[in-house]
Amino acid sequence: MKEKRIFAVIGLGKFGFHVAKTLAERGMEVIAIDKDEDRVKEVSEFVTQTYILDATDEKALRESGIKAVDVAVVSVGENLEANLMIVMLLNELGIKEIVAKAINPLHGKMLEKLNVSRVIYPEMETAIRVANSLIAKEIIEEIYLTENYSIFEIKVPQFMVGKTLAELDLRKKYDINVLGVKRENSVIINPAGEFMLQDGDILIVLGNINNVMDLL
């Protein structure tokens, strides 16, 4: 059974709203925080608890009970000063895992110096996924992990049909790791080397986008 963790989402713009809603829909406890009453009201039907407060106010943030959360997501990206102040306050409150939205690489570097667990660039990551899918229509989905690595779902190219994973040896030839294969309504996780690919299969792989493009 998946461990039920408690999340706080601070800042309920488009990004924060969808993070909070998705976490809640997947069974997580979510505390949603924003100083805008309308934004809080919009997400209140999905999440566990809501607070209308300015998260740069240490007293208000502390009184919200945020110290009990496992992960805090700071999605106040547009206001640089507020974003950094909130992260500093969360560190002082002892939040072990902090995920923060950045508006540009310089902002991201500042967040990294504050020891956030993960820096997210929503606009950049979305742009990269769209551009990659336009270049290679075989790419169905891309989950951005780092600047160099993503998880991809790709339609099996014709040259792979009828061949086993051992024959293709994607790790050696392309530095791509096969995590699974989608076939009709099932998913085969970590398929063996003798697994033979069929037309219509979807590969789930971990790799660098340049290597994936070489494969396609």
Domains and CATH numbers, the chain: 6-120 (3.40.50.720), 125-215 (3.30.70.1450)
The model carries a pTM of 0.67
pLDDT tens per residue, range 117-150? 988 888 777 777 777 777 788 888 888 777 678 8
Residue linked to tokens 């547009």: 78
DSSP-derived letter for residue 190 is S
CB 71 within 8 A of CB 99: yes
CA 79 – CA 88 distance, rounded (Å)? 14
Dig out the tokens for 137 from the structure.
């229509």
- In the predicted structure, residue 75 carries a pLDDT above the cut 50: yes
- In the predicted structure, residue 73 carries a pLDDT above the cut 90: yes
Residue linked to tokens 């939205």: 101
Mean pLDDT, all residues of the chain: 90
pLDDT tens per residue, range 15-70? 899 999 989 988 899 999 999 999 999 999 999 999 999 999 999 999 998 999 99
Q: Which pLDDT band, with edges at 50, 70 and 90, does 185 fall under?
A: confident
Residue linked to tokens 């790790």: 171
